[in-house]
Structure 1
Amino acid sequence: MQNVGHIYDKYFNVLEPALKSKAEELGLIGYGQVTIKDLWSYLTKKKWKKPKDDIHVYELVSDVLGLKAGDYMNFATIEAYRTPNWFAELDEEELQDLLKPNKK
């Protein structure tokens, strides 16, 4: 899910191995399943919000591999809250079932 028109989009394929490595690392340390597209979204929307015209590939690779799990998770949490209604796909009965108190 690349941002349309981001100046660094042309580097996505070159950075894919580094993105994959970082996504696997985050999974191994317990951050669930993070995709390379999730990481790309974080990088283009947050880390590279103000891109440089004369950027070098090694700088982009460094940004990917140096990405801190906490920074990414903060971004992902905020993005999750920005999504439309989480329960929009549930019908009324399914929603009521979710809201019932748990009886044990």
Structure 2
Amino acid sequence: MNIGHKYDHFRNQVQPALKSKLEEFELLGYGTVLEDTLWKFLTKKKWKKPKEEMKLFEIVQDILSVDAGEYMSFVTVEAFKESEFYFVNGDDLKELLK
């Protein structure tokens, strides 16, 4: 049962910050970044361990401080997790993960 992330109730309020970050990524050449994917990055990576008393300005600050490289690394790892790789033996996987 997935009840969502503790900070999901902030999402509508921080819409302008999310839009600004998406526009920044577009200017940097990452035009295919979706808001849902950015939010997934924030909830699964940046806010993996949510604070008890998170303020709105802290949420906005976290959004605006997302680094493009950090985001792209997350998206790449998630793509590998979701794809169906087939390895003949565990050695191939170990070689890939070196």
2:74 aligned with 1:75, yes or no? yes
Within 5 Å, which residues of 2 pair with 1:1-104? 4-85=3-84
User: In the TM superposition, what is the alpha-carbon distance from 1:27 to its structure 2 partner?
Assistant: 1.2
Identity of paired residues, percent?
51
- Which stretches in structure 2 are left out of the alignment for 5+ residues? 86-98
**Letter of the 1:36 counterpart:** E
Distance 2:41 2:3 in 1: 14
TM (normalized to structure 1)?
0.75
**Letter of the 1:11 counterpart:** F
- Deviating beyond 6 angstroms after TM superposition, the runs of 4 or more aligned structure 1 residues are none
Distance 1:82 1:24 in 2: 27
Q: Name the residue aligned to 1:101.
A: none
* Structure 2 residue matching 1:23: 3-state secondary structure: helix
Larger Rg: 1
Figure out how many residues of one structure are paired with residues of the other and give that number.
84
User: In the TM superposition, what is the alpha-carbon distance from 1:18 to its structure 2 partner?
Assistant: 0.6
Distance 1:8 1:40 in 2: 10
User: In the TM superposition, what is the alpha-carbon distance from 1:17 to its structure 2 partner?
Assistant: 1.1
The 8 Å contact of residues 42 and 72 in structure 1, kept in 2 or not, is answered as yes
User: In the TM superposition, what is the alpha-carbon distance from 1:57 to its structure 2 partner?
Assistant: 0.3
**Letter of the 2:74 counterpart:** F
Distance 2:64 2:3 in 1: 23
